[in-house]
Structure 1
Amino acid sequence: MNEPINKYRINEYLYKLNVRQYRKAMVLLPELLGISLNTFHNYRNILTEESKDIPYEKVILMEQLFEFELGTLAYQNPTSESLKALYIGQ
């Protein structure tokens, strides 16, 4: 059975914690991010095919809190050529 893939690696981090750490994280993370617990759960459950996103400042903060390298919270990072290469021509 195919399990849906989340857009962000939040659950990956949380599931590596023991029960005591997990419970404490679920109290601290929404506080540190300045969001409600419900919003945090919504962030955790965003799927790759959805157009929803987490605000950039929250992503950066979570990467620092989770000790992830910058730009690695998302499972997929879009890439593109430069504007000059695409439209302006060189």
Structure 2
Amino acid sequence: MTTFTIPQKMSNSGSIHDIASDMFDRDIIFAPGCKYAVVLASYYGGKGYTTHKTAAAAAAESHKQREYSHTVIDTEGNEFTAYYGDLVAK
């Protein structure tokens, strides 16, 4: 399993829509074979992410979560936006 760590942000910086927490680092643990994660803003608390093997699956989950602040990342931390069923680099 691959783990990507989102570093803690400075307290009272950014917005509630950030995926970085102002209380601790967030570890995104990718399930075996997964290359993408849909990560909800840290504001929502809890685990706050799902992992996916394909870009299409991550884009579909991003579409389902469109009412919530989130970002799609890969195992290296690159950020993507879902666009018509595909992922586009930010």
Aligning the two structures, in what range does the TM-score lie when normalised by the shorter sequence?
under 0.3
Higher relative contact order (CA 8 A, sep 6+): 1
Q: Which has the higher helix share?
A: 1
Task: Pick the structure with greater CA Rg.
Answer: 1
What is the TM-score of this pair, normalised by structure 1?
0.28
Q: Which has the higher strand share?
A: 2
